[in-house]
C-alpha cells in the first residue's frame, strides 16, 4: 500500500482504532476523512487533529451511504483509500430470546452489511484512482469466536470471507484489498475494554499496524503479533484449546 499522499476515508473514525489510524495516516502525509454517527465526537476529533475532514454517517442506513458516497467523492475527488472500520460489539444472552435480536440485527447491519454497501457505493470511484485500496477491519474473533459475543464474532468471520472474495475479484484491477484483524485493543468498543490489562495498548497496536502496512509488498492480512494465536489456531490444530481459553467452561 502507498503510505503517503493518499486521500483516505475511515468509517467509525471518531474514536478508538479508527481515530488512531486517522492520526497516524495524517502524520505520514495523507489527507484523511472520517465518518461517524455522533457529531460531538467528530467535532472533538477535528479539534484534536486540525485538517481532519469529518462527516456524520450512520452505516446502518443504506440511503445515507449512497448519498454520502456521492457527497464525499464530490468534496474529495482524490479519495483513493477506503477503510471500513465502523463496528459495534455487544454481549448477547442466547438463552433469553428475543431480547438479544435487536442487538444481533444492529451488529449485522453495521459490521457486515455496512462495509458491503460502502464498498459497492465507492467502488466505481476507486477504480478510477491510481494506488487505490480497500481495507476491511475484521477481528481476531473472526477466526476463534468469543461465545459471549456470538453475532459480533460471526459478522467478522463473514467480513473476512467477503474480503477474500473481493480481493480475488479485484485482482486484475488497480485496487489493493487488505484485511486488518485486530486483537483485543484497549478502546471503548466494549465496557471496560479500555482499561483491560489483557488488551493491547492502542498506540502500540497502531505503530505495529503502520509498520506492516509499509512493507513491500503489503501483506494481504495485517495481523500483529498478538493476534496470531487466534489467526493460526485452526491451522496449528489448536482451535479447541484456544476456544477453551477464550471461553472457559466454569
- Residues forming the active site: 152
Sequence-separated (6 or more) residues with CB below 8 Å from residue 220: 167, 177, 178, 179
- Phi/psi at 150 (nearest 5 deg)? -65, -40
Sequence-separated (6 or more) residues with CB below 8 Å from residue 158: 112
All cell numbers assigned to 204? 502500540
Q: What is the DSSP letter of 185?
A: B
- Phi/psi at 193 (nearest 5 deg)? -70, -35
* CA 115 centroid distance within chain: 9
Amino acid at each position: 500500500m502507498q503510505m503517503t499522499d493518499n486521500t483516505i476515508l475511515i468509517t467509525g473514525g471518531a474514536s478508538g482504532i479508527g481515530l488512531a489510524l486517522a492520526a497516524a495516516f495524517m502524520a505520514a502525509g495523507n489527507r484523511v476523512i472520517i465518518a461517524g454517527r455522533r457529531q460531538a465526537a467528530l467535532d472533538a476529533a477535528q479539534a484534536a487533529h486540525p485538517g481532519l475532514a469529518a462527516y456524520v454517517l450512520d452505516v446502518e442506513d443504506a440511503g445515507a451511504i449512497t448519498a454520502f458516497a456521492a457527497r464525499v467523492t464530490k468534496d474529495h475527488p482524490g479519495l483513493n483509500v477506503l477503510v471500513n472500520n465502523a463496528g459495534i460489539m455487544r454481549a448477547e444472552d442466547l438463552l433469553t430470546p428475543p431480547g438479544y435480536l435487536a442487538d444481533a440485527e444492529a451488529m449485522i447491519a453495521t459490521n457486515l452489511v455496512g462495509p458491503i454497501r460502502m464498498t459497492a457505493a465507492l467502488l466505481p470511484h476507486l477504480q478510477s484512482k491510481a494506488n487505490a485500496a480497500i481495507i476491511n477491519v475484521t477481528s481476531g474473533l473472526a477466526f476463534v469466536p468469543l461465545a459471549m459475543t456470538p453475532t459480533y464474532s460471526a459478522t467478522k468471520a463473514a467480513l473476512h470471507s467477503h474480503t477474500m472474495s473481493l480481493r480475488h475479484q479485484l485482482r486484475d484491477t488497480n485496487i489493493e484489498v487488505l484485511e486488518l484483524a485486530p486483537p483485543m485493543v484497549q478502546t471503548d468498543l466494549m465496557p471496560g475494554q479500555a482499561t483491560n490489562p489483557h488488551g493491547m495498548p492502542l498506540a502500540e497496536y497502531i505503530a505495529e499496524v503502520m509498520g506492516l502496512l509499509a512493507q513491500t509488498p503489503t501483506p494481504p492480512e495485517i495481523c500483529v503479533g498478538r493476534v496470531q494465536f487466534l489467526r493460526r489456531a485452526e491451522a496449528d490444530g489448536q482451535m479447541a484449546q484456544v476456544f477453551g481459553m477464550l471461553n472457559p467452561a466454569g
